[in-house]
Structure 1
Amino acid sequence: MNKLTEAEKYYRLLFDVTPLPALVYDLSDFSILNVNEAAVEAYGYSRQEFSQLTLDRLLDPRDVVRVKEMVHANPQQSRQKELWKHCRRNGELFDVEINAYTVELETGLVRLVIVQDISERLQSDAKLRESERHYRELYEKANDAIYTHDLQGNFTSMNEAGERFLGYAHKELLGMNIAELLPSEDLGRAQQMISMKMVGGSNNTVYETKVRTKDGQYLTAEISSTLIYQEGKPVGVQGIARDMTERKRMEDQIRQVEKMNAVGRLAGGVAHDFNNRLTAIMGFTDLLLKRTDKQDQHHYYLEQIKIASERATELTRQLLTFSRKQILQPELLNLNEAVSDWGNLVRVLLGENIEIQIILGSEIGLIKADPSQLEHVIMNLAINACDAMPNGGEFTIATTDIEISDLQSKYNPAIPPGNYVRLLVKDTGCGMSQDTLSHLFEPFFTTKERGKGTGLGLFTAYGIIKQSGGYVEVKSAIGEGTSFLIYLPVVAGTNISSTKEIAVPPVSAKSETILLVEDDPSVRTLVCEVLESAGYSVLQAEQGQEALDFAMKYAGPIDLTVTDVRMPGMSGFDMIERLKIFRPQMRVLFMSAYTDDARVTSIAQNLNLAFLQKPFTLEALVQEVQALLMRTNNATATA
C-alpha cells in the first residue's frame, strides 16, 4: 500500500510540474476531473472553476459535436494525437496539438490530455509558406533568368524567364549542361570562376558571356552567381542571367556614333590644314605656269605638281564631306524623282547579271539635300553591291515615309524621334561580318584587294548623309546580303529653292578696294598678288580684330572684304557681322577650308555674301570677286 501511495505521489508530481497544460476528464460526461498549474495559466480558469466545467467549455464551439463523436466512436483508444482549436476563459481561440491517453479506473474510463499551444508555430509556418510563395512568384515572374546547377554544370532548376531567354522547355533544360550553352572560350572562364570560389575566392562573381539559344543564336548575358552550400560543403551554383543583347547593341551604336564623330573631327582638322596648304601650292603653281613657256621642261613639272595637288584636293574634299564640313548645295527634293533619275545610271553601273528593283513610296515628304551628293552615295553603294555579287543577284532601291516614335528611338538611340523619308539600298550579296560592320565607315578601311579600293567610299557617303541631317543603319550577315537604311528628315514646305550661284561672266576689273583677311601667310600672299594683278587695290590684315580696327579707322571705301572663316581670336563671321554695322553696302566673300558654323545657311541666303571653297583656282577667285563687284555696280546704276 505504501508503494502504491508513493507511486501515486510521484505521478501526481509529474502531472503538476509538467510545463505543458494537462487535464483529466471523465469519458462518460466529459466533466473535468483534474488540471495542472500549466493548464490554469493557459486557459485562465482557477482549479475550482475547472472542477465545475466540462470539456465543451475548452473547445471551439464549432468542434464540440465532432470531438464527442470521435470519442464515443472509439472510447477505448489508448492514444490519440489531434490538432484542434481551444478556447480560453476570455473567449480567445488558440491552436493546440493534443496527445490524449485513455486510462481505465475503478470508477470508469478517463482521458489524460496533454495540450501544446502551437499558435506561434502555425503562424511561423504560415509566414514561411507565404514567404516561399512570394519568392516562388518572384522566381517565376522575374524578367531575368534564375537557375541552379550542380558542380558538374548540370542544370537542376530554371525559371520561366530562363526558358524564354534560351528557347528551351523546362524539361529540356533539366539535366542539360552549361557546356551546351556557352562557347568554349566563355565556358573555360565560367569553370575557372567556380573553381576559384571553391578554394576561397569571392563567392559572388559577375561576368559577361555569350549564350547559345535553342535556335543557334548567340545572345549576350550578364551572369551573377554564388555557390550553394549544404552542411558547409558546396553542392552547386545558383545564378541570375540578364539578357544584355539589346543594351549591348545600343551601347555599340552609341560608341560607333562617338567614334565616327571623333574621326570626323580629326578628318576635318586635317582637311582644313591641307586645304590651306593646297591653296598656296596650287595658286603659286598656276602663277608659275602662266610665266613659263609650254615648251619648257619646267612647265611640264609644274603641270605634274598641279595634277597631284588636284588629286589631293579630291582627298580633302572627301574628308570634309565625312566630317560634315563640306559646303553642300541643298535644295528641297522629292526623293522619288531623284531615285527615278538615278535608275538608268545604276543599271549601266551594275550590268545585266544583276536584277534591279526600284520601289517608290506613295506621297513621300520632301527632304532637303544636295542631289548630286546623294547621287554620289547611291553610286557608291551600287559599286559595293556589284563587288559583293560577282555571280549576279538582286539590287533594290526603295523609298518610304516613316515616323520614328519616342519608344523606337529609345531602342535605337542613334536615330531621334521624328518624320523621315527612308531610303533602302539592299543587295543579296555575300554580306559582312560583325567585325567588318564595326569598321565600315572608318576612313581607309576596305575589304577589297590592295589597289582596288581606297576605303573612302563609304567614309564619304556617311559624311554626306550626316551633313544632310540624316542617319544610316546597316544590317548585314555573312551569306545574307546587306541593307543600308538611310533616314533623311522630312521638311515642311513645297517651294523648291536652290542655293546654287548664278554663273557670271568675267568682266574687266576696275580700281575697287578689297580688304583681305587671312591668317595663313602663304594664302594671304597668293590672294593678294592675284587680286593686285587683276587691278584691284588690296588692304591686308592677318586676323579679324586687326581687320576690324583697320576698317573702322580707314577713311576710304572698302568695296569687298575677302576673308577666311576660321582664324585665331575673332572668326570671319563675327568680324563681318560687326563690320557690316558701319559698312552695310560692303560685299563679302568667305574663303573656307571648311566650316561647321550653324550660321552658314542663313548667311549664304544673303546675296551680299558668297563662299569660295579652298583650295580654289586663281580663275575661280577672280571670277567670284568680279561677279560680286559687278552686282555692286549694277545696284548702284539702278539706284
Structure 2
Amino acid sequence: MFMDCHHIATIQHIRSFRSCPHATGPSMANGDRVRISRSTLAGRQPRHRRAFQVELTGRTWPAAALRESGEVYHSLFSGMPEGVALSEILYDERGEAHDYRILDVNPAYEAIFGVTRAEAVGNNGSELYGTGFLSYLETYARVVATGEPATFDFETTFRPAQRRSFTITALATGNGRFATVFEDITERKRFEQQFWQAQKMEEIGRLTAGVAHDFNNLLTPIIGYSDLVLDRVRDQPNITADIEEIKKAGERASQLTRQLLAFGRKQLLVPQVLDLNQVVGNLAKMLSRIVSEDIHVDIVAAPSLGRTKADPGQIEQLVINLVVNAHDAMPQGGTLTIETANAVLGPAFVRRHVGSQPGHYVSLVVKDTGCGMAPEVLAHVFEPFFTTKGPGKGTGLGLSMVYGLVKQSGGYIMVESSPGVGTTVTMYLPTVDDPVESAAAGPQCVQTLEGTETILLVEDDAGVCSLMRKVLERYSYTVLSTQDAGDAIAIDDSYRGAIHLLVTDMIMPGLSGPDLAQRIVRRRPAIKVLFVSGYRSREVIDLGVSSQNASFLQKPFRPETLATKVRECLDHHVG
C-alpha cells in the first residue's frame, strides 16, 4: 500500500469525526496517541466545511506499531460505506498541477465508479474518467498546498448506470497527497427536491385559487347580466345571438376557473363513501369511446377492495383526464392499464415521499406504454397550464385537477415516467370503514322562486352586489344590501323588522363572512345563512353557526340559480 503514518491516522478516524468534534485515537505499540479534531469553517454550512487536524505525539514509530496501524487502517478503509480514494498531485516541469494519480481506493469507491482497485490504482484521473474530471484538479491542488479541506457536491452516472449525488470532502494527507471521501447524498437530495416541490405546489395552489376567486367575481356579472338581458330580448334574434355568445364565453371561462380551483384544492366537493371498482366499472363503456382502437384497455380490479370517501363525479373526471393523457401519449397505439388495489403506506414509504401519511389506502393506478417524459418535464407535470401538447390540444390543467382532487380528498399522488417506456400515475386514497353510500338525493323541487321575506345582502364586489340585489328584488324579496361587513352589523342593529336570510360573501376586507354570520346569528338565532364565494374555503365547513341554518353557493352563478338557492334556504335548507 502507498501509505505513511499520516494516511493511516487520517483514514482511521474520518468516520468518527463525522459525529464528534474531536477524538483521540488508540495508543500505538510505542505508547504514542493520535489526536484528530474537527472544526467548522466560517461561511459555509457545517456539513460542507469540516476541517480535520491530525496531531501525532511522539517521534518513534516501530515496525510493530506500523503493522498494527496498518491492520486497523485496512479494516476501517475497506469497511467504510463512503467511497475513499488516496491520490497524489502530478506536477509538470513548471511546477503546475496537471493531473493526479490514484494510489488506493476502497470497495465503496469501486462500487460508485464501477472500477476495480486494480484498474484504478496507479492510473491518472484523466485516464480513468476523462479530462472533464480534471475540473476538480485546481481544488485538489489547493487542498494539498494549503492543508485546508474542501467540500463540494458531485453527480455521477458511472457504472452502474444510475444517477447518484455525492458530497466530496478532500483532505490533505502530506507529501503532495490527498484523500477524497465520497458521501452518497442521493436520498437526501431526492428528499429535498420533493420538499421544495411540495412547497412550490402549495404556493402555486394558493395563488391560483386566489386568481380563480377574483375571476369568478368578474364572471358572475357577465353571466348574470347576460341572462337578464336575454329575458328581455327573446323576440330579437339578432341581439339574442350576440348575447348568447357573450354568455358562452363567460361559461367557458368559468370552467377554467373551476379547474384552477380543483388544483388549489378549493373546489366544492360532495364526498360520499364509494367503491373504486364500481366507479371504474361504470366508466368502462365510456373509456372505450375515448381511446382509439389500436389501444388495448386492461382494467384490473382488486378483489375485496377497501372503501374510500370522495366525490364520485370528480373521481370519474379524474380517471377520464388521465385516460385522455394516456391516449395522447400513445399515437401509435399501446396498452392502457387501470388498476385498483389495497395498499398500506408504512414509515419507509413516508420517509421517501414528502407529503404522504402512513395508513391504509386504496390505490388507483393509470399506466400507459406511451412516449413517457424526461425528468425535466416530469418535475412540472402538476403545474397549472404546463403542457407538452401542441397549441389548441390542451389547457395544461388536466393533471393539475387530478393533483388537487387527490390532495383535497386526503390522498397522495405520484408519477413515474421514462422516455420510450411510458407513464404510471398512482393515487392513494385513505380507506374508511363505513358502507358504500347510494347516490345522494337531488334538491327538493321548488314550487316558486318568488318570496316576500327580507334578505340582508353583504357583498364587497360592487358589480356582484348590484347584480344580486337586482335579481332578488326581481323575485319580490325585500333586500337590505351593503358592500361592507361593518355596515351590515349596523343595519342588523337598526332594522326593527325580521330578517329571514343573510346572504354574504365569504372573503371580505375586515370581517369575514363566517365571522359576520356568527355575530348576526347570536342576535337573530332563527336567521338562515347563505354563503357565496368564488371558492369553497375550509371556513365553510367549520362555519361556527348551526349547519341546519347555513348553505353555500359558488360563483359564478346564473340569476335563476341564485333565486333557487335562496328559496331552498328559506323553505328547506339544502347545504
- Equivalent position of 2:102 in the other structure: 155
1:623 matched to 2:568: no
- Secondary structure, aligned partner of 1:253: helix
- Equivalent position of 1:301 in the other structure: 242
Deviations 1:251-292 (CA, angstroms, capped at 9, x unpaired):
111111111111111101111111111112222222222233
**Pair 1:247–1:389, CA change in 2 (3 A):** same
Q: How many matched pairs?
A: 509
CA deviation after TM superposition for structure 1 residue 500, in Å: 6.5
1:213 matched to 2:153: no
Of 121, 125, 132, the residue aligned with 1:174 is 121
CA deviation after TM superposition for structure 1 residue 226, in Å: 3.4
- Secondary structure, aligned partner of 2:416: strand
Deviations 1:39-91 (CA, angstroms, capped at 9, x unpaired):
xxxxxxxxxxxxxxxxxxxxxxxxxxxxxxxxxxxxxxxxxxxxxxxxxxxxx
- Equivalent position of 1:44 in the other structure: none
1:139 matched to 2:77: yes
**Pair 1:319–1:154, CA change in 2 (3 A):** same
**Pair 1:182–1:325, CA change in 2 (3 A):** farther
Please give the alpha-carbon distance, in whole angstroms, between the structure 1 residues aligned to 2:146 and 2:374. 38
- Secondary structure, aligned partner of 2:159: coil
Deviations 1:421-468 (CA, angstroms, capped at 9, x unpaired):
111111111111000001111111111122222211112221111111
Pair member with larger Rg: 1
- Secondary structure, aligned partner of 1:303: helix
**Pair 1:123–1:222, CA change in 2 (3 A):** closer
Moved more, 201-210 or 491-500: 491-500
**Pair 1:129–1:596, CA change in 2 (3 A):** farther
Contact 1:145 1:160 survives alignment (8 Å): yes
**Pair 1:299–1:362, CA change in 2 (3 A):** same
Please give the alpha-carbon distance, in whole angstroms, between the structure 2 residues aligned to 1:218 and 1:508. 65
- Equivalent position of 1:430 in the other structure: 371
> RMSD over aligned Cα, in angstroms?
2.9
- Equivalent position of 1:318 in the other structure: 259
- Equivalent position of 2:424 in the other structure: 483
Contact 1:329 1:498 survives alignment (8 Å): no
- Equivalent position of 2:139 in the other structure: 193
Of 549, 555, 558, the residue aligned with 1:614 is 555
**Pair 1:448–1:260, CA change in 2 (3 A):** same
Deviations 1:114-155 (CA, angstroms, capped at 9, x unpaired):
xxxxxx999977666555544443322222111123443453
Please give the alpha-carbon distance, in whole angstroms, between the structure 2 residues aligned to 1:509 and 1:311. 29
Contact 1:148 1:237 survives alignment (8 Å): yes
Please give the alpha-carbon distance, in whole angstroms, between the structure 1 residues aligned to 2:440 and 2:204. 29
Please give the alpha-carbon distance, in whole angstroms, between the structure 1 residues aligned to 2:280 and 2:545. 28
Contact 1:566 1:595 survives alignment (8 Å): no
Structure 1 letter corresponding to 2:221: A
Deviations 1:508-549 (CA, angstroms, capped at 9, x unpaired):
523111111111111111101110011000111323343234
Structure 2 letter corresponding to 1:143: P
Of 416, 431, 441, the residue aligned with 2:382 is 441
1:81-96 → structure 2 map (5 Å cutoff): none
Contact 2:217 2:464 survives alignment (8 Å): yes
Contact 2:329 2:372 survives alignment (8 Å): yes
Structure 1 letter corresponding to 2:110: E
Please give the alpha-carbon distance, in whole angstroms, between the structure 1 residues aligned to 2:461 and 2:315. 33
CA deviation after TM superposition for structure 1 residue 591, in Å: 0.7
Contact 2:147 2:172 survives alignment (8 Å): no
1:187-586 → structure 2 map (5 Å cutoff): 187=133, 189-194=135-140, 203-230=148-175, 234=176, 236-295=177-236, 297-494=238-435, 496=437, 502-586=443-527
Contact 2:518 2:545 survives alignment (8 Å): no
CA deviation after TM superposition for structure 1 residue 561, in Å: 1.1
Please give the alpha-carbon distance, in whole angstroms, between the structure 2 residues aligned to 1:426 and 1:280. 43
Please give the alpha-carbon distance, in whole angstroms, between the structure 1 residues aligned to 2:65 and 2:494. 92
**Pair 1:572–1:145, CA change in 2 (3 A):** same
- Secondary structure, aligned partner of 1:515: strand
- Secondary structure, aligned partner of 2:337: strand
- Structure 2 regions of 5+ residues with no counterpart? 1-29, 31-57, 90-98
CA deviation after TM superposition for structure 1 residue 320, in Å: 0.7
Normalising by structure 1, report the TM-score: 0.74
Contact 2:112 2:159 survives alignment (8 Å): no
- Secondary structure, aligned partner of 1:490: strand
Contact 1:604 1:610 survives alignment (8 Å): no
Higher relative contact order (CA 8 A, sep 6+): 2
CA deviation after TM superposition for structure 1 residue 312, in Å: 0.9
Contact 1:441 1:462 survives alignment (8 Å): yes
Structure 2 letter corresponding to 1:156: L
- Equivalent position of 1:53 in the other structure: none
Contact 1:181 1:212 survives alignment (8 Å): no
- Equivalent position of 1:60 in the other structure: none
- Structure 1 regions of 5+ residues with no counterpart? 1-94, 96-119, 635-639
Please give the alpha-carbon distance, in whole angstroms, between the structure 1 residues aligned to 2:149 and 2:61. 34
